[in-house]
Structure 1
Amino acid sequence: MAEDPSKCIKEFRAELPRVNEDVLGAVRDWKNVQIAVDEDTLWLKGFTAEQAESPEIRQMLDFVLYELRDGLLFKKEALVPTKKMRTALLWSPIHKALPLTFPASNQNYFGIEEKVQVRLKPGIEEHPAAALLSILSEIKESIPAQPDFKLEKIEWTVINDKALFLGIPLLSLPGKTYWEKDGHLLPAGYDFEFKNLSSLLRQQYNKESDKWLLWSEDGTCLPIKKEDLRPMSVSSFRLTEKTREWI
């Protein structure tokens, strides 16, 4: 009886011009994928069927995905092979072959000039909020109405015209919420593009864990020294308001 082709496990190969190597950052954390260099071409293998159909793959320019059958490469749904697969390639895990780099950026966020350029992407997991960034003018009437037992669990600091609150549970105030990961404060609904990036960034930029790293959706970051945070109270907030009036 002939074998049902639909039950065969497909084996994939892909090629990409070496000059377009940067696009592989989107799949660098796929540890099942391996990569090899053949002059001006990058070859990849090890994709699962789900990965082969993923948005990360479909969005890559000049990325050609093949099915490997008996040493021949077939484009999707093609009956005739395009070429033979090269042999004797030196394969390496993609997450080891493509080192992470942190290029400098001169973008400005809350007055900070030197940045780490990192990409955030919408996340699929929900996380409890650990920080809140509010505009001072929008909350000045609400703070005195907060009960003391809620305020005493909160630390805070001022960033230009905004107040950053940390603590659980957070105050019921308007503003932007963040969740915590390895000392990073990430916007609610977002995560790092690469899963292992948070620990690498902590080792490089917050080794002593003496700061909070506050991230925006565009990948810029503001370090907040933990020693600059102070216990939240109505008197502390009012004193800050008075000080700002004198400046």
Structure 2
Amino acid sequence: MAENSSDNIKEFWAEIPRSDEDYLGSIRDWKNVHIATDDETIWLKGFTDEQASASELHQLPNFLLYELRDGLLFKKEALVPSKKMRTALLWVPIDKALRLTFPASNQNYFGISEKVSVRLKESDEEHSVIALISKIEDIKVSIAALPKFRLEKIEWTVIGDKVLFLGTPLLSLPGKTYWTKDGHLVPSGLNFEFKNLSTFLQQKYNKESDGWLLWDENGNYLAIKKEDFRPLSVSSFRLTEKSREWN
């Protein structure tokens, strides 16, 4: 009788404390991965063999990876199981569970007795760019051809069908560039209408100074935590591109 090839397919599970949930932003774009919560633990499953070995995964704090065999969870190369597979969990795709969205309104209240409409205007001042947003489809061929030393100082994260690169010197890729001010990422050629507003915005929306506020031309912002970024490499970009094929 022929051997069932499905028996040789490894199924990987992982767990991470709920207190470290923010660090999962670095793998949010692995759309084939599903997550569920159970008390103080976040469970993950659906990793490919390549993802299970990726540095992005093993750099997560307090992260434990298991191989599922016959309903039991084994640590890598272990002969004795660590625990039983958890049941009755509600699984959700990781990109849906950790979705990033722009606010519906650009009216922001700062606790200073009035509402302030955030507007960006054209600026004649020159600023060094530090970030770049590109469409994945527009750059996937170019990224694979770049030498390693060009990528070493760049971090990146995925926003929908686009990629945000952070670091200098910026890559020579098509896209929209940004400069930084007080923890904001502002489109090149623009500045806040009221320049002293940037400090109030940080106090309201980034009190812990643990991320960036990414602005568009219409005065809408997207808060991105620093943990969402990872070092750029051809392999990490390829993993993301492969995971997009699952949707």
TM-score (norm 1): 0.54
Alpha-carbon distance, 1:189 to partner? 0.2
Deviation at 1:116, TM superposition (A): 4.0
Deviation at 1:113, TM superposition (A): 3.3
CA distance in 1, matches of 2:198, 2:187: 14
Q: Counterpart in 2 of 1:209? A: 209
Query: What amino acid maps onto 1:147 in structure 2?
Result: P
2:238: which partner in 1? 238
Q: Is the 8 A contact 2:155 2:230 kept in 1?
A: yes
Counterpart Cα distance in 1 of 2:198 and 2:105: 15
Equivalent residue, structure 2, for 1:171: 171
Moved over 6 A (4+): none
Structure-2 residue corresponding to 1:113: 103
Identity of aligned residues (%): 67
Q: Which amino acid aligns with 1:184?
A: H
Shift of 1:208: 1.1
Structure 1: runs of 5 or more not aligned: 1-109
Alignment partner of 2:129: what SS?
coil
Contact 1:115 1:221 in 2 (8 A): no
Deviation at residue 151 of structure 1 after TM alignment:
0.4
SS at structure 2 position matched to 1:142: helix
| Pairwise CA distance, 1:246 | 1.1
Match of 1:194 in 2: 194
Structure 2: segments with no counterpart, 5+ residues = 1-99, 108-117
Letter paired with 2:121: K
| Coordinate RMSD, CA, aligned | 1.2
Question: Is the Cα–Cα contact under 8 Å of residues 178 and 188 in structure 2 kept in the other structure?
Answer: yes
Instruction: Quote the residue 1:91 is aligned against.
Output: none
Instruction: Provide the rounded CA distance (Å) in 1 between the counterparts of 2:202 and 2:191.
Output: 15
**Partner in structure 2 of residue 149 of structure 1:** 149
Superposed, 1:93-112 pairs within 5 Å as 111-112=101-102
Question: What displacement does 1:115 show?
Answer: 4.6
Distance 1:125 1:158, change over 3 A: same
1:158 aligns with 158
Shift of 1:111: 3.3
Structure 2 distance, partners of 1:193, 1:232, is 34
Tell me the SS of whatever aligns to 1:246.
coil
Matched, 1:128 2:128: yes
- Aligned partner of 1:185 in structure 2 is 185
Structure 2 distance, partners of 1:182, 1:115, is 22
Cα gap change, 1:111 to 1:208, in 2 (>3 Å): closer
Larger RCO (alpha carbons 8 Å, 6+ apart): 2
Residue identity matched to 1:139: I
Task: Answer yes or no: is the 8 Å Cα contact 2:214–2:223 preserved in 1.
Answer: yes
Q: Using the alignment, how far apart are the partners of 2:198 and 2:205 within structure 1?
A: 10
How many correspondences in the alignment? 138
